[in-house]
Amino acid sequence: MKKPTFKTDEQGRIIFGRFEYVLQSLIFLSLVSFAIETLPNISPQLRKSLGRFEMVTVTIFTIEYLLRLFYGKPRLRYAFSFFGLIDLLAIAPFYLSTGLDLRSLRAFRMLRLVRLLKLVRYSAAVQRYHRAFVIAREELVYFGIITLILLYLSAVGIYYFENPVQPKIFASVFHSLWWAICTLSSVGYGDIVPITAGGRVFTFFVLIIGLGVVAVPSGIFASALTQAKETEK
């Protein structure tokens, strides 16, 4: 019997060619099926079909994993690579859950999401984003720190203004932190809102300073991306 051979990339990973698209579609479908399973009122019949589909996808992913494991170069190296671990985590819960009760199975299943990360491998352009991230890393880290300091100071400030008037809503600095996150991200759910004059004036200053700070990183990253694109040429 002739041993099959596979094309591999420079890191010794198998390239399945057009079949990669089939794998990607399968990952996508298994994610949709996962979401459908969470619907509260689905029929037992549909649940059964989804279970069967799950079995098929896991089988295919297992075959893929074994092929990558034994036919990659050097052999078994894949097992300890980043994507090898992800692929294992994405199929392991299925095998481990047999014999366990349904609930724990459900918790394990969440790991099935890790399959999503496999999508990332297939795109070449991810490299550019990685480079852009490296270029902008320092700035992003410092802006991250400044944002955290700002969130903390905003939370403490609003706590002192609003806690005496709304002791249930602004119950602690942690509750205020939730307000600070919602406000500085400009999401503003409206579940926790300052009502004192002082708290509103404080919010004004927080927004004036904060929105600027929060918006800068995306500008930094966009310019880093332009830089990363230029170095390609």
Q: How far is the CB of 120 from a second copy (least distance, A)?
A: 8
How many angstroms separate the CA atoms of 45 and 41, rounded? Answer: 12
- Contact status: 74 vs a second copy (CB under 8 A): no
190 CB-contact burial (10 Å; exposed 0-12 / middle 13-18 / buried 19+):
exposed
Binding residue (CB under 8 A) for a second copy from 19, 144, 164, 231: 144
The nearer residue to a second copy, 40 or 74, going by C-beta atoms, is 40
- Contact status: 56 vs a second copy (CB under 8 A): no
Binding residue (CB under 8 A) for a second copy from 10, 101, 191, 230: 191
Binding residue (CB under 8 A) for a second copy from 160, 166, 169, 198: 160
The nearer residue to a second copy, 11 or 218, going by C-beta atoms, is 218
How many angstroms separate the CA atoms of 198 and 189, rounded? Answer: 21
How many angstroms separate the CA atoms of 210 and 221, rounded? Answer: 18
Closest CA to 202 of 232, 172, 159: 159
**Is there a contact between 169 and 131 (Cβ–Cβ < 8 Å)?**
no
CA distances from 49 to 40, 109, 127, 167 (A): 16, 17, 38, 51
| Residue with the two structure tokens 């919010």 | 203
Q: How far is the CB of 13 from a second copy (least distance, A)?
A: 21
The nearer residue to a second copy, 1 or 39, going by C-beta atoms, is 39
How many angstroms separate the CA atoms of 223 and 83, rounded? Answer: 30
Helix residue spans in the chain (DSSP H): 19-37, 44-71, 82-97, 102-109, 115-121, 126-162, 173-184, 197-232
Span near a second copy by CB under 8 A; candidates 8-16, 45-53, 92-100, 160-168: 160-168
Binding residue (CB under 8 A) for a second copy from 11, 25, 59, 218: 218
- Contact status: 26 vs a second copy (CB under 8 A): no
- Contact status: 6 vs a second copy (CB under 8 A): no
* Interface ranges with a second copy (CB under 8 A): 31, 34-35, 38-40, 110, 113, 116, 119, 123, 125-126, 129, 138-139, 142, 144-145, 147, 149, 152-153, 155-156, 159-160, 163, 167, 171-174, 177-178, 181-183, 185-191, 193, 197, 200, 203-204, 207-208, 211-212, 214-223, 225-226
